[in-house]
Amino acid sequence: MTEIAERLYYGFFYLPTGIYALIVSVLVALCSSLLGVTLVLKRFSFIGDGLSHVAFGAMAVAAVVGLTNQMFIAMPVTIICAVLLLKAGGRAKIRGDASVALISVGALAVGYLLMNLFPSSASGSISADVCSTLFGSYALVTLTGAEVWLCVVLSVVAITLFILFYNKIFAVTFDENFAVATGIKANLYNLITAILIAVVIVLAMRLVGSLLISALIIFPAISAMRVFKTFKSVTLCSAILSVICTAFGVLLSVVIDTPVGPTIVCVDIIVFFAFWLIGSLKGGKAK
């Protein structure tokens, strides 16, 4: 017991970076779970996956160009792709799922190629670079004060927008035709959703890496939907689950010395099975 406490203290709470990492993780988890509910219900789960690969490609380009803060390239590129993908979803010549696959695989390949052609001078090892971009860094992310503030501000903006537009997001997600027919600007809310998703993905990239972002977005929503049946309760449960799982995952990774991203995702998976079990027991009783 004391050993765990010591590990947590020296590996984590001793330095401000540990606290920063925890704050950022929790905020990112909160944002992604809120959006996850809408994405899952709109059958857009795969868009998160596609966009995270786009972010990977953009990060690679930023690294090659030698930008210190890679977010400045990754953020706009991902936002543009998110908007294009959500627009294409309905009526494009190339079907929505196919265009996501095209863009995501394309970005992944180009990103990896660039990293090989122009190895960054800092780390020297390409596979380490790629690995940490895909699966998140092995140790806790070391963030500077400015990065933490950027994350905090963007997360707070995302959460505020979600709360302000909660009722509109519900209506557009539940029945877009009805919303449009009664004069709701569904396209505007779809656009806001797309931008929020892109922002969350770029933020989450540092935490869990681009391959595992989808897990952060989808697992809490799916778990919550096993047990809860109203939009409000699913949203709340998803947010709470995501925050708890992520915080627990971060601390656990320090104690048992595992990579942060996959640890969080494993906690999410375990919780999913627990909720799935509760859901089927509950459903069985009702019948």
Partner 1 sequence: MALLTCKNLSVGYDGVAVASGISFSLFSGDYLAVIGENGAGKTTVMKTVLGLIKQISGEIETGDGLKRNEIGYLPQQTAVQRDFPASVWEVVLSGRLSKIGLRPFYDKEEKRLAEDMLEELNIAHLKKRPYHELSGGQQQRVLLARALLATRKVLLLDEPVAGLDPIVTTEMYETIENLNKKGTSVIMITHDIAAAKKYANKILYIGANVFFGSKEEFIKSSDGKIFGSAGRNKK
Which residues have CB under 8 Å from 270's CB, separation 6+? none
Alpha carbon 217 to its chain's center: 5
Please report whether residue 236 would count as binding partner 1 according to CB under 8 A.
Answer: no
Q: How far is the CB of 238 from partner 1 (least distance, A)?
A: 10
Q: Amino acid identity, residue 148?
A: V
Stretch that binds partner 1, among 26-34, 125-133, 172-180, 207-215 (CB under 8 A): 172-180
Q: How far is the CB of 234 from partner 1 (least distance, A)?
A: 4
Burial class (CB in 10 A: 0-12, 13-18, 19+), 99: middle
User: If you count them, how many residues does the chain have?
Assistant: 287
φ/ψ (deg, to 5) at 140: -60, 145
Which residue of 179, 192, 207, 241 would you call a contact of partner 1, by CB under 8 A? 179
Q: Which of 215, 48, 219 is nearest to 136 (CA)?
A: 215
Structural contact between residues 53 and 107, judged by C-beta atoms closer than 8 angstroms = yes
Please report whether residue 225 would count as binding partner 1 according to CB under 8 A.
Answer: yes
Which residue, 121 or 182, has its beta carbon nearer to partner 1? 182
Q: Which of 199, 213, 216 is nearest to 269 (CA)?
A: 216
Report d(CA 193, CA 34) in Å as an integer. Answer: 11
Considering only residues 62 through 121, tell me which ones interact with partner 1, judged by CB under 8 A. none
Q: Amino acid identity, residue 154?
A: L
φ/ψ (deg, to 5) at 68: -75, -45
Mark residues 9-48: x for contact with partner 1 by CB under 8 A, - for none: --------------------------------x-------
Which residue, 3 or 91, has its beta carbon nearer to partner 1? 91
Please report whether residue 196 would count as binding partner 1 according to CB under 8 A.
Answer: no
Q: Amino acid identity, residue 179?
A: A
Please report whether residue 282 would count as binding partner 1 according to CB under 8 A.
Answer: no
Please report whether residue 274 would count as binding partner 1 according to CB under 8 A.
Answer: no
Which residue, 125 or 233, has its beta carbon nearer to partner 1? 233
Which residue, 15 or 188, has its beta carbon nearer to partner 1? 188
Report d(CA 168, CA 87) in Å as an integer. Answer: 18
Mark residues 119-158: x for contact with partner 1 by CB under 8 A, - for none: ----------------------------------------
Please report whether residue 276 would count as binding partner 1 according to CB under 8 A.
Answer: no
Which residue of 94, 126, 128, 163 would you call a contact of partner 1, by CB under 8 A? 163
Per CB under 8 A, residues contacting partner 1 are: 41, 163-168, 170-171, 174-175, 177-184, 225, 228-234
